[in-house]
Amino acid sequence: MHTLPLRTPTELDAMRAAGRVVAQTLHAVQAAARPGVRLRELDELAQTVIREAGAVPSFLGYRPAWAPTPFNGALCLSPNEVVVHGRPNGRRLREGDLLSIDCGAIADGWHGDSAVTVHVGADPEDDAPLLLATELALSAGITAAVPGATLLDVATAIDSVARAHGFAHLPDHGGHGIGRNMHEAPFVPNEPTRDAARHRLRAGNTIAIEPMLHAGTSGYRTKKDGWSIVTADGKRSAHFEHTVAITDDGPEILTACVS
């Protein structure tokens, strides 16, 4: 059995502060995501909100081992068939786009990480069932994140909702431990794995839970920019994420509060 690090009450307060900045940023960016607005403009707005709150964008300049270049923005902006890791660029939003907005911020050395998927204007392709299923999957995963449960319980809860609604996961991707680093062990899978049963949750653990669902079943490919992950069949996808603290009173969402 592997144990996750425990956060002290003071550390959890710091993570609440980071989570609040992320929630405020997503709130502002979501409201600004209108037809004609460029992705780069949304990213500039996010950087302003994060810095005015006294925090630091955690994605900007981030370069995991697999990435060809440091990330170029404060947000991952992933339209339509882009599942995650879309780069802020000059693309203008169009009526009917489905946009995943993923944001990370660091406050006093502690991280928050959260994502939402929103419609830009109308819903011509009837994405509502996909959005609902992905939000419900996140909610089920959070509800399962209680002391004594394992990450297998979290993964099974997420996967059950995805299956019940007939959607597929982005393979090989999921959530993660989070604290002084954005991405910490362990991997928090969206589908049951053998390893997930070896991680038991205790009050004081902090994890990011993030289902990524799509209508197709054909897997994914990475675009030439080395970052953007798109569904292989071009089907649309949705992504929701929260940073969550496990407490004796149940899961506490650290990235929900905008006030």
List 60, 142, 208, 229, residue binding Mg ion (CB under 5 A): 208
Measured from the CB atom, the residue of 125 and 131 that comes closer to Mg ion is 131
Start-to-end CA span in the chain (Å): 38
# of chain residues touching Mg ion (CB under 5 A): 5
**In terms of CB distance, is 70 or 121 closer to Mg ion?**
70
Cβ at position 115, least distance to Mg ion in Å: 5
- Which region, judged by CB under 5 A, interacts with Mg ion, from 123-131, 204-212, 224-232, 245-253? 204-212
Nearer to Mg ion by Cβ, of 43 and 102: the residue is: 102
Task: Give yes or no for residue 102 binding Mg ion (CB under 5 A).
Answer: yes
Query: Of the ranges 139-147, 165-173, 198-206, 208-216, which one interacts with Mg ion (CB under 5 A)?
Result: 208-216
d(CA 55, CA 47): 9
Buried b (16+ CB within 10 A) or exposed e, 38-60: ebbbbbebbbebbeebebbbbbb
Q: Of residues 113, 127, 153, 159, which one binds Mg ion by CB under 5 A?
A: 113
β-bridge mates for residue 106, sequence order: 56, 111
CB of 164 or CB of 258, closer to Mg ion: 258
The verdict on 11 binding Mg ion (CB under 5 A) reads no
Contacts of residues 120-126 at CB distance under 8 Å and 24 or more positions apart, as own/partner, are 120/33, 120/34, 120/35, 120/93, 120/94, 120/95, 120/96, 121/34, 121/35, 121/95, 121/96, 121/97, 122/95, 122/96, 123/96, 124/95, 124/96, 125/96, 125/98, 125/236
- Distance between CA atoms of 101 and 90, rounded to whole angstroms? 16
Pick the piece of the chain touching Mg ion (CB under 5 A) from 64-72, 87-95, 155-163, 200-208.
200-208
Residue number with CB closer to Mg ion (136 or 208): 208
Closest contact distance (angstroms) between CB of 189 and Mg ion is 13
Q: Report the residue number, 30 or 96, with the smaller CB distance to Mg ion.
A: 30
The residues that touch Mg ion, with contacts defined as CB under 5 A, are 102, 113, 115, 208, 241
